[in-house]
Amino acid sequence: MVAEITKARIGRNAGAAEAGPSRDVPFDARQTALLIIDLQNYFGRRESELYGPLSADEIEAKHGSFFRRLDEVTLPAIQRLQAAFRENGVEVVFTVVESLTQDGRERSLDYKISRLQVAKGSWEAKVLEPIQPQGDEIVLPKTASSVFNATNIEYVLRNMGIDRLVMCGALTDQCVDSAVRDAADRGFLVTVVDDGCASYSEERHETSLRLIAGYCRRLSADEVIAELRGGLRKAG
């Protein structure tokens, strides 16, 4: 009898779990935003001061695959996403690593230890030219890895009624990873765009995406666009 009761309870709990919340929720343009993380000159251009101590040959040896992925895969994917989201009136939001001051005295302790400093208003703080913001699209400067720890992004998103985030950017295993985990913990539904992200090696990129699989969905840019347009057609 005890065994039968236990099985019945397990069955009810399993059914409840199956009927519970899911990450596979169709996009709603009114509740969704595209969040583009740290794709700026500081990280994404060889002439940045970040790579200044390295020779051209050293940059190619250490980071050549990263720059090629950015130019050939990541930026084209994000351009397609931007076009689709803007066309359908969906918010496009950016983060950049940028201090509030010229000397970065307000940076996080970790950024000070890491010597990571991007001066306010500098060329390094600008979003990469192929994917620059348009109109009054929001750009949030930050001085820590997670945008949720270093800015008022949650306040901003909640005020706009947004609870679903499509994330892309760099580095996959650092600031993107941190944002995904923190957004999920705060109750946002997160989709990470595989080809919209990049890191300094394919291994780092793939390992990070595997490790954050429990916090988000993983789709390609074209899959996101198809789902967005499909949801809009149904809503219409």
Residue 1 domain flag = no
Q: What is the pLDDT at residue 2?
A: 45
pTM for the whole thing? 0.89
For the CA atoms of 21, 22, 28, 32, the dihedral, rounded to the nearest 10 degrees, stands at 100
Distance in angstroms (rounded) separating the CA atoms of residues 123 and 128: 10
Residue 13: per-residue pLDDT: 44
| pLDDT at residue 139 is higher than 80 | yes
pLDDT at residue 24 in the model: 81
User: For all residues of the chain together, what is the average pLDDT?
Assistant: 91
What is the maximum alpha-carbon separation in the chain? 75
Residues of the chain above pLDDT 70, percent: 89
Name the strand (E) or helix (H) holding 38.
none
Count of CB atoms within 10 A of residue 61's CB? Answer: 11
The whole-number pLDDT of residue 20 equals: 76
Domains: count for the chain: 1
The Cα–Cα gap between 74 and 17 comes to 36
Q: Which of 25-29, 112-116, 175-179, 225-229 has the lowest mean pLDDT?
A: 25-29
In a domain, 20, yes or no: no
pLDDT of residue 11: 45
Is residue 10 a part of any domain in this protein? no
pLDDT higher than 60, residue 1: no
Domain assignment present for residue 16? The answer is: no
Contacts of 110 (CB under 8 A, 6+ apart): 144, 145
Residue 102, classed as helix, strand or coil, is coil
The token duo for 95 is: 């983060």
171, part of any domain: yes
- Tell whether 34 is covered by a domain: yes
Note down the domain range covering 145: 26-235
Does 154 fall in a domain? yes
Residue 64 has pLDDT above 90, yes or no: yes
15 part of a folded domain? no
Q: pLDDT value at position 224?
A: 97
The enclosing domain of 55 has a CATH number of: 3.40.50.850
179 within 8 A of 149, measured Cβ to Cβ? no
